[in-house]
A and B are shown apart, each in its own frame.
Chain A
Amino acid sequence: MDLFEYQGKQLFARYDIPVSPGEAVTTVDAAVAAADRIGYPVVVKAQVQVGGRGKAGGIKIAANADEARAHATAILGMDIKGHTVRTLWIEQASDIADEHYASFTLDRAAKLHLGMLSAKGGMDIEAVAVEDPDAIARLHVDPVDGLTEGRCREWVRSAQLDETAHDGVVDILLELYRAYTDGDADLVEINPLVVLQDGRVHALDAKVSLDSNAAFRHPEWEDYEATQELDAREREAREKGLQYIGLDGSVGVICNGAGMTMATLDVVTEVGGSAANFLDVGGGAGADVLANAIEVVNNDPGVRSILINIFGGITKCDEVALGVVEALERVDLRSPIVIRLDGTNAAEGRTILNERASEQLIPQPTMLDAARKAVEIAGVAA
Chain B
Amino acid sequence: MSIFVDENTKVVYQGLTGSQGRFYGLRNRAYGTQVVAGTNPKKAGSDVEGIPIYATVADAREATGATVSCVFIPAPGVEGAVMEAARAGMELVIVITEGVPAHDEARFYNELRRNHPGTQLLGPNCPGVITPGQCNIGITPGEIAKPGGPVGIVSRSGTLTYQALHEMTQQGIGQTTCVGVGGDPVPGTSFIDCLTRFESDPDTKAVIMIGEIGGSAEEEAAEFVKEKMSTTPVVAYIAGVTAPPGKKMGHAGAIVSGNKGTAAAKIEALEDAGCTVARNPTEIGGLMADVVKRL
Chain A residues lying within 8 Å of B163, measured Cβ to Cβ, are: 260, 311, 342
Pick from A109, A280, A367 the residue with the most CB of B within 10 Å: A109
Question: Are B281 and A261 in contact, with the CB atoms below 8 A?
Answer: no
- A278–B256 CA distance with the chains assembled, in angstroms: 15
- Please report B residues at the A interface, Cβ cutoff 8 Å: 75-76, 99-103, 106-107, 109-111, 113-114, 127, 139-141, 143-144, 155-160, 162-163, 166, 183, 185-186, 210, 212-217, 220, 237, 239-244, 247-254, 258, 263, 279-282
- A213–B55 CA distance with the chains assembled, in angstroms: 28
Question: Are B160 and A259 in contact, with the CB atoms below 8 A?
Answer: yes
- A260–B244 CA distance with the chains assembled, in angstroms: 16
Question: Are A260 and B157 in contact, with the CB atoms below 8 A?
Answer: yes
Q: 10 shortest A-B CB distances, which residue pairs?
A: A259-B157, A257-B159, A258-B250, A260-B159, A214-B101, A262-B239, A259-B160, A262-B240, A263-B239, A269-B242
**How many A residues have CB within 8 A of the partner chain?**
50
Chain A residues lying within 8 Å of B101, measured Cβ to Cβ, are: 184, 211, 213-214, 217
Q: With both chains docked as a complex, state the minimum distance between the C-beta of B75 and any C-beta of chain A, in angstroms.
A: 7
A259-B158, A262-B243, A314-B141 known; A144-B111 Cβ under 8 A: yes
Chain A residues lying within 8 Å of B99, measured Cβ to Cβ, are: 213
Q: With both chains docked as a complex, state the minimum distance between the C-beta of A345 and any C-beta of chain B, in angstroms.
A: 10
Contact pattern, A 202-232, Cβ under 8 Å of B = 1, otherwise 0: 0000000001011011000000000000000
Question: Are A270 and B280 in contact, with the CB atoms below 8 A?
Answer: yes
Q: Which of A106, A245, A280, A312 contacts B106 (CB 8 A)?
A: A106
Chain A, interface SS category: mixed
Q: With both chains docked as a complex, state the minimum distance between the C-beta of B279 and any C-beta of chain A, in angstroms.
A: 6
Question: Are A109 and B258 in contact, with the CB atoms below 8 A?
Answer: no
Contact pattern, A 267-281, Cβ under 8 Å of B = 1, otherwise 0: 111100001001010
Contact of A142 with B by CB under 8 A: yes
Question: Are B160 and A257 in contact, with the CB atoms below 8 A?
Answer: yes
Question: Are B254 and A313 in contact, with the CB atoms below 8 A?
Answer: no
Question: Are B159 and A111 in contact, with the CB atoms below 8 A?
Answer: no
Question: Are B160 and A186 in contact, with the CB atoms below 8 A?
Answer: no
Chain B residues lying within 8 Å of A217, measured Cβ to Cβ, are: 76, 101
Chain B residues lying within 8 Å of A267, measured Cβ to Cβ, are: 280-282
Chain A residues lying within 8 Å of B141, measured Cβ to Cβ, are: 312-314, 343-344
- A97–B199 CA distance with the chains assembled, in angstroms: 58
Q: Which of A211, A247, A258, A312 contacts B251 (CB 8 A)?
A: A258
A348-369 residues at the B interface, CB under 8 angstroms? 366-368
Question: Are B249 and A181 in contact, with the CB atoms below 8 A?
Answer: no
Chain A residues lying within 8 Å of B157, measured Cβ to Cβ, are: 257-260, 263
- A109–B191 CA distance with the chains assembled, in angstroms: 12
A211-B102, A258-B251, A262-B212 known; A144-B156 Cβ under 8 A: no
Pick from A106, A142, A262, A344 the residue with the most CB of B within 10 Å: A262
- A366–B170 CA distance with the chains assembled, in angstroms: 13
A229-258 residues at the B interface, CB under 8 angstroms? 243, 245, 247, 255-258
Chain A residues lying within 8 Å of B281, measured Cβ to Cβ, are: 260, 263, 267, 367
Q: With both chains docked as a complex, state the minimum distance between the C-beta of A260 and any C-beta of chain B, in angstroms.
A: 4
Contact of A302 with B by CB under 8 A: no
9 of the cross-chain contacts (CB-CB < 8 Å) are A142-B114, A144-B114, A257-B159, A262-B254, A263-B237, A263-B281, A265-B240, A266-B241, A344-B143
Q: Which of B139, B183, B279 contacts A258 (CB 8 A)?
A: B183
Question: Are A343 and B144 in contact, with the CB atoms below 8 A?
Answer: yes
Question: Are B252 and A259 in contact, with the CB atoms below 8 A?
Answer: no
Q: With both chains docked as a complex, state the minimum distance between the C-beta of A29 and any C-beta of chain B, in angstroms.
A: 35
